[in-house]
Structure 1
Amino acid sequence: MEHALPTSNYRPEQAIAEIADFIADPVRSAEFPTHILRFRNDRAAATVGLDRLDDAQWLAHFGRFEVLPDAQPEPLALRYHGHQFRVYNPDLGDGRGFLFAQLRESAATGGRLIDLGTKGSGLTPWSRTADGRLTLKGGVREILATEMLEALGVTTSRTFSLVETGEQLVRGDEPSPTRSAVLVRMSHGHIRIGSFQRLAYHDDTDNLRRLIDYCLKHLLARDPGENAALTLLEEVVHRTADLAASYMVAGFVHGVLNSDNIAITGESFDYGPWRFTPRWEPGFTAAYFDQQGLYAFARQAEAIHWDVAQLAQSLVGLAETDALVEVLRRYPAIYEQRLIARFLWRLGLDSPDEATARTFVVAAVEALLEGRVPIDRFFFDWRKGTRDVPLYAGPSWDKARDAVAALTARPSTHAYWQGEMPCSMHIDEVETIWSAIAERDDWGPLHEKVAAIRDMGKALRP
């Protein structure tokens, strides 16, 4: 096939080759009966010089997985272990996906190393008893999750491509048979806490050091200094504490915060049973199987902190234990700082000092905990200055109003703020969008929702 002419933004990389010998297995994509392009993220593609591909070329690379020019020669399924609901599992790895290519972002968008990884691309050595496939509904849900989170300022993977593949799948949690798809996600690295746990489990110290060096060099942009392991942990603590804070301010519940689902870049990824909680409900869960509420809305920071502690445990022997523990202890304070900062960001507020900001956020959360006001409604109304209405009546809201008076509001001139309702993404909306696809093959509601979400994202970044 003929490729689109390369652009200055197209910069393929093969950094993963530095560690592929111990962290990955070469694999091949499944051969699918058909390839129907359902979603292509040209906004994301432009950052890595792939937006000029026509649809046929797009399907060749992201449906049949023909190698991109000068990119890595074969897909790689990554190996890792992890704690799943705090039970250690040494039998993990990419069971229905692989690392397809690495590219360098344009300088204008940060110049970071970017992975293009798949979901639903077929069997790998780590598939176990699964079929290596993805349902079309699962792909649609991932589009909605990543678009909404990106708009709300969460550091997240981005859904790059979704191709329907023409197979009929049987699933216990969906009406079956159901349609199949293959998804490509764009991420800043796929190395996770479980990647380190696997090497520690095998007492593979030499490759642990190699993995640390790879992450600091290519993913975290940090000089290793005198103690590379400690530098790595410091960076992960900061990034994951911010991730947990961003989930709270977005009203998001990931659902499965196992240690194999926590990227060391602090980038959210792998969206299965996610949900947005309508109200600030601490015990709200996303996964029906999370019967103990381990990953409930208000426990996500605790869960991620616990996962990061498993990373620290994997680094024992490469750094002083007391130093590792001291870094871990900083997590709660960083989380609180980032929660306050992100809370004010979503409201378009500036504070003269940390104490004033904290007073307001504590008051606002206490009022939200009463459960009368939806999270999205609160951020929408208070961002545009609608605070003195019956919905916000009562002593708790009076306290929040008094506290916000000490803060400075940034101008909110985007047309989004002139509307009557906030953009949201609750389960009934997700099901309505999917029903249009399942019943009528109508993709209009999905594309309309993505456009509305992106409009909100622009409004939040004036």
Structure 2
Amino acid sequence: MTLHLKLENSYATLPARFYTAMAPTPVAAPALVKLNEALALELGLDPETLGSAEGVQMLAGNLVPEGATPLAQVYAGHQFGGFSPQLGDGRAILLGEVVDRNGRRRDIQLKGSGPTPYSRMGDGRAWLGPVLREYLVSEAMHALGIPTTRALAAVKTGEAVRREGAFPGAVLTRVAASHIRVGTFQYFAARNDAEALKALSDYVIARHYPDADGPLGLLEAVVAKQARLVAQWMGVGFIHGVMNTDNMAVSGETIDYGPCAFMDRYHPQTVFSSIDQYGRYAFDRQADIALWNLAQLASSLLPLMGGATQEAIDRATAVLHDFPTRFTAEWLAVFGPKIGLANAEAGDAQLIHTLLDRMAATGADFTNTFRALADGTARDQFPQPDAYDAWAVDWKARLAREPEGAGARMRAANPVVIPRNHRVEEVIRAGLRGDFAPFEQLAKVLAHPFEESSENAPYRTPPTPEERVTATFCGT
């Protein structure tokens, strides 16, 4: 059989040491769980073809489409601060790339597609739960307007995956601007491979930042993208959970939804990841960790900026030192509209932080509190309303200096629904029983996160104490 998808693979034109060329490992009995038809059309792909028996075989890894050059990418990375000189796609295969209807080059990757030389004794497979989670959360992030990888399809494999028990296997088809990570640069820097670093830098500039002036300009561009991205995460209460350097995409997209989660009750030190025992990737540390990761990128790029000379170090350091200022500006650009502000004043950051401090002290729900500001019911979100009342006096005085339309600004900036952890867990439990109706319903609701409707009303409610999810797990 032949499947025509007009795939390219510009990454395969890089030197052979960047990847291992190989096909996915076939599975026993693929069955489609979900096809993202709107994304397929955006990519210039035919949903009917993808949903056909032949298309599902391709989405499961049983059939390599004509023209594809499948490969597993190699990279390194700091994982919880410890450097691993070789990681790589241990359970993913890049099928190729498409140029979408907007002229953007997008990777098509199968995640859970079997072992590769980078699997590190793993089976290269994924089980259904993490696939459903990544599908829901990545598509929710897209609907929230936050740069992210996307989910094109989820397919059951008809095979069991062994973890702490036997679970149904699945494959996620992931779409990304690219899968190049900070760790990709670290891999070649650790080997003193200046030729490969130059090839990688030139490739990333051409693909993502054509206006960047050499490696220093590349660093500046990635710093700007990450400052914006992390500010956007924080604006919706998102905690990535595993911000290793191999999980930071240089394109500026959110990537690798493992133990990620959205906060219910606000607290800045919130951690969900079961493997983050010391809070390295807590909610309020995400900007600091982004800067730490960017410093590793800067170190990797130094050989292209004149080596370990003081001049090169000073130039790279100056770019990194700009990150806190950039992040603060991006954070205010995200949080200002959340409380109705269109213009900036000197005391705005303190006003927002005071609200957050009082939310943390009283256990107010992050999403519902900000949304309720628009309709005058935020006081009801505080178990101790006096904490809100004292803040609201200053807030209303500040709004009086703003142009009309504060309510509309707040409704546009504050979602009604997010993928609350307990709802995602409900979907996974139902999926393990073979019931995907809850998955379909939640996906439908999350596609319109700013719209109030009777359909999404049940999904706005925070979890009861019995429903609360306190730990999330890596998607392996």
TM-score of the superposed pair, with normalisation by structure 2: 0.86
- Aligned match of 2:395: 400
Q: Structure 1, residues 71-101: CA drift from partner, whole Å, max 9, x if none?
A: xx32110010010000000131100002111
Amino acid at match of 2:135: I
Amino acid at match of 2:429: S
- Aligned match of 1:42: 37
Q: Larger deviation: 286-295 or 391-400?
A: 391-400
Task: Note closer, same or farther for the CA distance 1:120–1:151 as it changes in structure 2 (3 Å cut).
Answer: same
- Aligned match of 1:443: 436
Task: Note closer, same or farther for the CA distance 1:442–1:340 as it changes in structure 2 (3 Å cut).
Answer: same
Contiguous gaps of at least 5 residues in structure 1: 5-9
- Aligned match of 1:61: 58
Q: 1:188 aligns with which of 151, 174, 177?
A: 177
Q: 1:285 aligns with which of 259, 264, 271?
A: 271
Q: Larger deviation: 160-169 or 450-459?
A: 450-459
- Aligned match of 1:426: 420
Task: Note closer, same or farther for the CA distance 1:119–1:410 as it changes in structure 2 (3 Å cut).
Answer: farther
Residue 76 in 1 paired to residue 67 in 2? Answer: no
In 1, the alpha carbon distance for the partners of 2:405 and 2:223 equals 30
Task: Note closer, same or farther for the CA distance 1:67–1:357 as it changes in structure 2 (3 Å cut).
Answer: farther
Task: Note closer, same or farther for the CA distance 1:49–1:68 as it changes in structure 2 (3 Å cut).
Answer: farther
Q: Larger deviation: 115-124 or 53-62?
A: 53-62
Please show how residues 178-327 of structure 1 align to structure 2 within 5 Å: 178-223=167-212, 225=213, 228-319=214-305, 320-327=312-319
Question: Shift of the alpha carbon at 1:53?
Answer: 3.1
Q: Structure 1, residues 378-411: CA drift from partner, whole Å, max 9, x if none?
A: 2221244544657454323433343344334648
In 2, the alpha carbon distance for the partners of 1:12 and 1:373 equals 48
- Aligned match of 1:7: none
Asked if structure 2 preserves the Cα contact closer than 8 Å seen for 1:279 and 1:373, the reply is yes
- Aligned match of 1:122: 114
In 1, the alpha carbon distance for the partners of 2:147 and 2:163 equals 30
Asked if structure 2 preserves the Cα contact closer than 8 Å seen for 1:3 and 1:53, the reply is no
Question: Shift of the alpha carbon at 1:58?
Answer: 2.6
Residue 329 in 1 paired to residue 321 in 2? Answer: yes
Question: Shift of the alpha carbon at 1:361?
Answer: 2.8
In 2, the alpha carbon distance for the partners of 1:159 and 1:448 equals 16
Q: Structure 1, residues 229-250: CA drift from partner, whole Å, max 9, x if none?
A: 1011001101111111111111
Asked if structure 1 preserves the Cα contact closer than 8 Å seen for 2:30 and 2:57, the reply is no
Asked if structure 1 preserves the Cα contact closer than 8 Å seen for 2:219 and 2:319, the reply is yes
Report the count of equivalent residues. 437
In 1, the alpha carbon distance for the partners of 2:108 and 2:36 equals 12
Task: Note closer, same or farther for the CA distance 1:98–1:2 as it changes in structure 2 (3 Å cut).
Answer: closer
Q: 1:169 aligns with which of 147, 155, 161?
A: 161
Secondary structure in 2 matching 1:369? helix
- Aligned match of 2:87: 92
Q: Structure 1, residues 131-157: CA drift from partner, whole Å, max 9, x if none?
A: 000000110111121122222222111
In 1, the alpha carbon distance for the partners of 2:154 and 2:401 equals 46
Q: 1:368 aligns with which of 344, 359, 374?
A: 359
Asked if structure 1 preserves the Cα contact closer than 8 Å seen for 2:416 and 2:450, the reply is no
Asked if structure 1 preserves the Cα contact closer than 8 Å seen for 2:364 and 2:381, the reply is no
Residue 101 in 1 paired to residue 96 in 2? Answer: yes
Asked if structure 2 preserves the Cα contact closer than 8 Å seen for 1:47 and 1:106, the reply is yes
In 2, the alpha carbon distance for the partners of 1:296 and 1:58 equals 40
In 1, the alpha carbon distance for the partners of 2:60 and 2:16 equals 26
- Tell me how large the CA RMSD over aligned residues is: 2.4
- Aligned match of 2:21: 26
Amino acid at match of 1:367: R
In 2, the alpha carbon distance for the partners of 1:426 and 1:128 equals 32
In 1, the alpha carbon distance for the partners of 2:256 and 2:354 equals 33
Q: Larger deviation: 442-451 or 376-385?
A: 376-385
Task: Note closer, same or farther for the CA distance 1:389–1:409 as it changes in structure 2 (3 Å cut).
Answer: farther
Ranked by relative contact order (alpha carbons within 8 Å, sequence separation 6 or more), the top structure is: 2
Asked if structure 2 preserves the Cα contact closer than 8 Å seen for 1:113 and 1:219, the reply is no
Question: Shift of the alpha carbon at 1:456?
Answer: 1.6
In 2, the alpha carbon distance for the partners of 1:210 and 1:371 equals 52
Secondary structure in 2 matching 1:53? helix
Q: Larger deviation: 182-191 or 148-157?
A: 148-157
In 1, the alpha carbon distance for the partners of 2:451 and 2:202 equals 36
TM-score of the superposed pair, with normalisation by structure 1: 0.88
Q: Larger deviation: 35-44 or 426-435?
A: 426-435
Q: Percent identity?
A: 30
- Aligned match of 2:343: 352
Contiguous gaps of at least 5 residues in structure 2: 306-311, 453-476
In 2, the alpha carbon distance for the partners of 1:409 and 1:217 equals 43
Amino acid at match of 1:31: P
Asked if structure 1 preserves the Cα contact closer than 8 Å seen for 2:9 and 2:69, the reply is no
Question: Shift of the alpha carbon at 1:18?
Answer: 2.9
Question: Shift of the alpha carbon at 1:345?
Answer: 4.6
In 1, the alpha carbon distance for the partners of 2:342 and 2:141 equals 25
Question: Shift of the alpha carbon at 1:2?
Answer: 6.4
Task: Note closer, same or farther for the CA distance 1:65–1:404 as it changes in structure 2 (3 Å cut).
Answer: farther
Question: Shift of the alpha carbon at 1:260?
Answer: 0.4
Asked if structure 2 preserves the Cα contact closer than 8 Å seen for 1:366 and 1:396, the reply is no
Asked if structure 1 preserves the Cα contact closer than 8 Å seen for 2:419 and 2:446, the reply is no
